[in-house]
Amino acid sequence: MPRRKLKNGKRPPSEVNDRSPREESSSVSTKRTKDEKRHTAAVILARGGSKGIPLKNIKELLGVPLIAWVIRVAVDAGVFDSVWVSTDHDDIEKVAKKWGALVHRRSAEVSKDSSSSLETIQEFITKHPDVDIICNIQATSPCLQPKHLQDALELMTNQGFESVFSVVRRHQFRWKEVKNKGEVCTKPENLNPARRPRRQDWGGELCENGSFYFATRDLISKNLLQGGKMVYYEMDPEYSVDIDVDIDWPVAEQRVLRYGYFGKQKPEVVKLLLCNVMGCLTDGRILISANGEDQVFYNVRDQAGFNMLKKEEVEVILISSKDYPIPKALADKLSERLGCLVELGMVSKEQEVAELIAKRNLKWKDVAYIGNDEADVKCLERAGLSAVPKDASERASIAAKYTCCNKAGCGAVMEFAQHILLLNTKAKSQGQDI
């Protein structure tokens, strides 16, 4: 079996010793010389038994599983020797591996409702003795940025701190409830009501935002995530997003759209959408009428999505492959009804799509692509933005950057169109050429 590598080219500690991430280890860490670099691992805790939102960690936020936002940040930060997800759930494991993380299968003992983060991390370092510095990243912090992790780790490696944790500055007056002889009254905790300070005259308070906690192995072994020589790392409020309850979700979507990390490349303005007819615009069925005519069904919401895109000067082209042939007469009707060019019978989608892109003096980064099966994989991988309906094949889903909540023929195209327009707005606000 080929050995896996992170994007920085390094192998995880368990594979250096020829053990898989799921194999237990009882070996003792080897002593390091002063010049030998300490192994730094990011560990994202993702238990499957969330009570507030079932499987919250892999619920999709803007088409990306929640946990994937922080996996992407950890990998792209380029400062970790390994990036791990600690979980007890098969579906979370599958998502973690898809987005580039290694998986530590935690035991039942540290997967209970009462289990603490510290206990879970202690089990991890026991199984992975080569790890020297742990960064516990919270799976529910989708606005975390690579720079936050880079700067915080620098405090550990270059300034000798044993623990670094993220905080946000709050300017909120706190009050407490006081019970006295059966009566309840209220008293101030951090202000004098007779001298209420103006915001600009008060430095505020530092509050943990939970985004990440760096700690040395030795500190964790002493039952501490924070301690020794420690320091806080202050994050701006706009990046301090924590999703705890379902009501936070629509708010988080808007915040992530503006402040989330979408990858190393800045978002581009989409100028062309390529959409599979069969399996994306339609559910893949062809009905044959009594007089022998082929018929397909599409959702009027998807037609509205095309109209929205064209209004914003995004061209739409419908495509079909030789494996899913569409009669020319039917294609002409679709073209007339939807106002889109239809390209029929593609044999090599990647090559023929590349030719369509070149004819328009565009590049793959300018293109959005929605497909549904293995013939679409290369195009899904190369397009600047790509999507699949909810019921697409597994290989296509892995290749796509966005997985729709809706199935083919049931509004998936409209959903993707809205996503394109949101990201176009973000790209334009960041000064991209259009």
Known catalytic residues are 196
Q: Which of 18, 141, 173 is nearest to 69 (CA)?
A: 141
CB within 8 Å of 69: residues ≥ 6 apart: 61, 141, 142, 143, 144, 256, 260, 261
CA–CA separation, 192 and 132 (whole Å): 46
Which spans in 300-372 are helix H? 300-311, 328-338, 349-359
Token pair 């327009």: residue:
421
C-alpha separations of 263 from 44, 76, 403, 419 in Å: 18, 7, 17, 16
- Listed in order, strand segments (DSSP E) in 32-81 are 40-46, 60-61, 64-65
Kindly state the helix (H) or strand (E) to which residue 219 belongs, with its residue range.
helix 217-221
CB-CB neighbours of 95 under 10 Å: 25
Q: Which of 24, 220, 248 is nearest to 134 (CA)?
A: 220
Token pair 């002063």: residue:
34
Residue 355 exposed, middle or buried by CB count within 10 Å (0-12, 13-18, 19+): exposed
CA–CA separation, 281 and 338 (whole Å): 11
Q: How would you classify the pairing of strands 40-46 and 133-138?
A: parallel
Side-chain-side CA neighbours of 329 within 13 Å: the count stands at 4
Give the alpha-carbon dihedral of 189, 190, 193, 197, to 10 degrees: -170
CA–CA separation, 199 and 260 (whole Å): 27
CA–CA separation, 262 and 76 (whole Å): 10
263 phi, psi to nearest 5 deg: 120, 175
